[in-house]
Amino acid sequence: MPKILCASLIALLCLSVAAWAEDAPKGTLTKYTFDQSRIFPGTVRDYWVYIPAQYDGSKPACVHVNQDGVQFDAPVVFDQLIAQGKMPVTIGVFVRPGVVPAPTDNAQPRFNRSYEYDSTNDNYVRFLLDELLPHIEKTLGLKLSHDGNDRSIGGTSSGAICAFNAAWRRPDAFSRVFSGVGTFIGLRGADEFPIWIRKTEPKPIRVFLQDGTGDLNIYCGDWWMANQTMQRALEFAGYEVNHAWDEGGHNQKGAKAVFPEAMTWLWKDWPQPVQAGLGSPKMQQLLIPGEDWQLVAEGFKSTEGPAVNAKGEVFFNDGPNNKTYHEQPDGKVVEFLNDTQRGDGQAFGPDGRLYSVAAGAEKIIAYSPDGKAEVIAGGFRGNDLVVGHDGSIYVTEPGWDGRTRSKIWYITPGGEKKIVDRGLKFSNGITMSPDQTQLYVADSRSHYVYSYQISGPGKLRYKQKYFYLHVPDEADDSGADGMCVDRDGRLYVATRMGIQVCDQPGRVNCIIPTPNGRVSNLCFGGPNFDTLYATCRDKVYKRKLKVRGAQEFDTPVDPGKPRL
C-alpha cells in the first residue's frame, strides 16, 4: 500500500467507487431517530442502518459502526466487499452525535459532538452497547453479533478518536478500527493515547490510520504529527496497525479514497480473531507469552487484603461478609476465619502470623496459623498495613469522614503506637521497598504514591510525592489502593486504570488491566513468589510473571541501582 497518496490519485479513487460497485447486490439503507438515551439524557440523534442483500437473519451478522452518520460511500463499498468475500455479511450502523434541543426558539441547542466524541471515558461505548445497538436489535428485529471479533468501528476527525476509544475501552466489543484524520490531540485528553498505548498491556485491536500533511495545526495540537505519533506508539507496543498518509487536509477525501482497501485489511483472515501483541520491552520483562489471568475464586461481596505466607500461600478478605479465605497449595480456596470484624488490609509478619486491620473493631489483630487471635493495637480505624522483617508495623488511617486528617501509624512489635505522618488526602495502600529503606504510601485522592525514607524504627523523613500515576478521564484521581514490590524494585499499584507498574525513579512503565476492570489490592504468591494475585471486587485473579516478589517479612533485598 502506498504511504503517500497524491491529490490526483485520491480524486480518481473517489470517483471510481460508484462504478466499481455497480455489479454487486445492493443492500438497503434506512434512516431512524433515537431519543431515549439515559447516558446522554435529552439528546436526539439520527442514525442509519445498512442491511446487506446477503443478510437472511439465520444467524447474527457482523457489525460496523460509524460516527457522524454515513461516510465514505460505505454502503456502496460494503455491497462490493461483501459480494467479493472480502468482508463478512455486515450490518452497518451510522450514527450522528446527539443534540439537546433548545428550550425556546431563541435559544441554542446543546451540540454534544465534542463531549461524546473527544472524551476518553467510556460513556459513548456504553451508549452503543447498552442503548443504541440493543434498541436496533429489538425494534428492527435484527440479529447482531455481540463478539468483538465480529465488529468494526470508524469515523473521521473526532469521530475517529471516538471509534478508537470505543475499541480501547471495550476490545471485547470492537476489535477493528478505521481512523480518518483522527483528532488525537488535546481537546479533551486524547493526546494521552500514545502514552497509554505504549504503557498498557496490548489489546486485541487492529487499527488503520489515515491522515494528510495538510491537516490542522491549531491551538490544541498538530493532527498530522499526532497521527504519526499514534502509528509509532501502536507499532512500538506490538499492535497490528496499517496507515495511508497523503497530502490532504482536514476532510474526508483521503479517508474515502482508502476506505475500501482499509476495510479489506481490517477484515482480513476473518473469522480468525485479532491477536494482541507482546507489548513494549518493559512489558515483555514482566509478562510471559501465553500466561493470562486465571480466576482463583469468585462470588464474594468485596475482596481485599491479599497476603502471602512464607510458603507462598495466599490469604484474602471478603470484608462485608467478615471472612478470610485461604488458597491451599492444590488451588482449592477454603475459609480461614469466619469473623474478621470487617477485615481490610493484612500482611504476614516475620513470626508467621497474619496481621489484619479489623476496621469494624478499630483494632490491629494478629492471627496464628490455627486462627488464634491476639489484639496488637487499637483505637483507630485503619485501612492497610505492612509488617517489616523486624516486626515494625505501619498502618494507614485515611480520614474516612473527609474532615479528619489522614494519618500513618507506627506500631512496635510490643504494641506501642504513635502517629508518624499526617496530611495525605486519603492514605490507603502501603508497602516498603525491597531493601526496606523506603516506605511507600498511596494517596488515593491524588495522582501520587508518596515515598518516605525510613531512618529507624518508626522514623520517617524526606517525604515526597514520588510516584506519578495516570488517571482516567471519568475520575479526578488515580484511586491508588493496595501495593506490592518485586525484587528488582518495581512498585505495583492497584488503580482505576489497572495495575500501574512503576520503576524505582517513580515512573509508570506499564499498565496491566485486570479481566473485570477492577482491582483493590495485590500481592506476589506461589512457591516462588512469581505469581501476582489481585483482589478485584467479587473475584480474585492470579497471573504468573517473569519476576519474583519481595516479601516484607523476609530478609531485605538489594534491588540494584536503577537506570536514571
Residue 229 belongs to some domain of the structure: yes
pLDDT of 503-537, one tens digit each? 999 999 999 999 999 999 999 999 999 999 999 99
Residues 147 and 243 reside in one and the same domain? yes
- Give the model's pLDDT for residue 222: 98
Is there a cis peptide before residue 505, judged by omega within 30 degrees of 0? no
Domain assignment present for residue 555? The answer is: no
* The three three-digit cell numbers of residue 287, written as one number: 509478562
Q: Is the pTM of the predicted complex or chain greater than 0.75?
A: yes
Q: CA 358 to CA 341: how far, in whole Å?
A: 5
Final residue of a structural domain among 269, 291, 314: 269
Same domain, residue pair 344 and 425: yes
Statement to judge: residues 291 and 183 lie in one domain: no
240, 381: one domain: no
Within a domain: 561:
no
Give a yes or no: residue 26 inside a domain.
yes
Q: Are residues 167 and 200 in the same domain?
A: yes
CB 377 within 8 A of CB 392: no
Give the count of alpha carbons within 13 A of 344, CB side only.
24
pLDDT score recorded for residue 23: 83
Give domain status of residue 48, yes or no. yes
Same domain, 179 and 133: yes
Same domain, 249 and 286: no
By DSSP bridging, strand 240-246 and strand 4-5 are: parallel
Is 187 inside any structural domain? yes
Find out whether 90 and 62 touch, Cβ atoms under 8 Å. Answer: yes
- Distances in Å between the Cα of 84 and the Cα atoms of 25, 509, 534 are 10, 44, 47
Q: Give the count of domains, the chain.
A: 2
pLDDT at 2: 43
Last residue of a domain, one of 220, 239, 269: 269
d(CA 468, CA 497): 13
In a domain, 563, yes or no: no
Q: In whole angstroms, what is the distance from residue 52 CA to residue 55 CA? A: 6
Element (H, E) at 486: none
- Report the SS3 class of residue 489: coil
**SS3 state at 209:** strand
Which tens digit of pLDDT belongs to each residue from 72-81? 999 999 999 9
255 and 387 co-located in one domain: no
Cα–Cα distance measured from residue 383 to residue 429, given in angstroms and rounded to the nearest whole number: 8
Looking at this protein, which amino acid is placed at residue 531? Answer: T
Q: How far apart are CA 412 and CA 391, in angstroms?
A: 7
Residue range of the domain that includes 368: 282-544
Quote the CA–CA distance of 513 and 292 in Å, as a whole number. 11
CATH no. for residue 253?
Answer: 3.40.50.1820
Domain shared by 198 and 225, yes or no: yes
| Residues in CB range of 359: below 8 A, 6 or more apart | 319, 341, 342, 343, 344, 381, 382, 383
Query: For residue 366, what is its C-alpha cell?
Result: 494478629
Contact 376, 353 (CB under 8 A): no
Count of other CB atoms within 10 angstroms of residue 4 = 11
Residue 384 and residue 522: Cα distance in Å, rounded?
12
Q: Which of 269, 303, 319 is the last residue of a domain?
A: 269
Q: By three-state DSSP, how is residue 197 classified?
A: helix
Cross-strand bridge partners of residue 496: none
Q: Coil, strand, or helix at residue 465?
A: strand
3-state secondary structure of 71: coil
In a domain, 24, yes or no: yes
CB 246 within 8 A of CB 212: yes
Let me know whether 246 and 309 are in one domain: no
- Give the alpha-carbon dihedral of 4, 205, 198, 240, to 10 degrees: -50
Q: Which residues of the chain have pLDDT under 70?
A: 1-22
* Same-domain pairing of 260 and 291: no
pLDDT for the residue 17: 53
CB atoms within 10 A of CB 381: 20
Shared domain for 195 and 316, answered yes or no, is no
Strand order of the β-sheet with 333-337 is 303-308, 314-318, 323-327, 333-337
What's 492's domain CATH number? 2.120.10.30
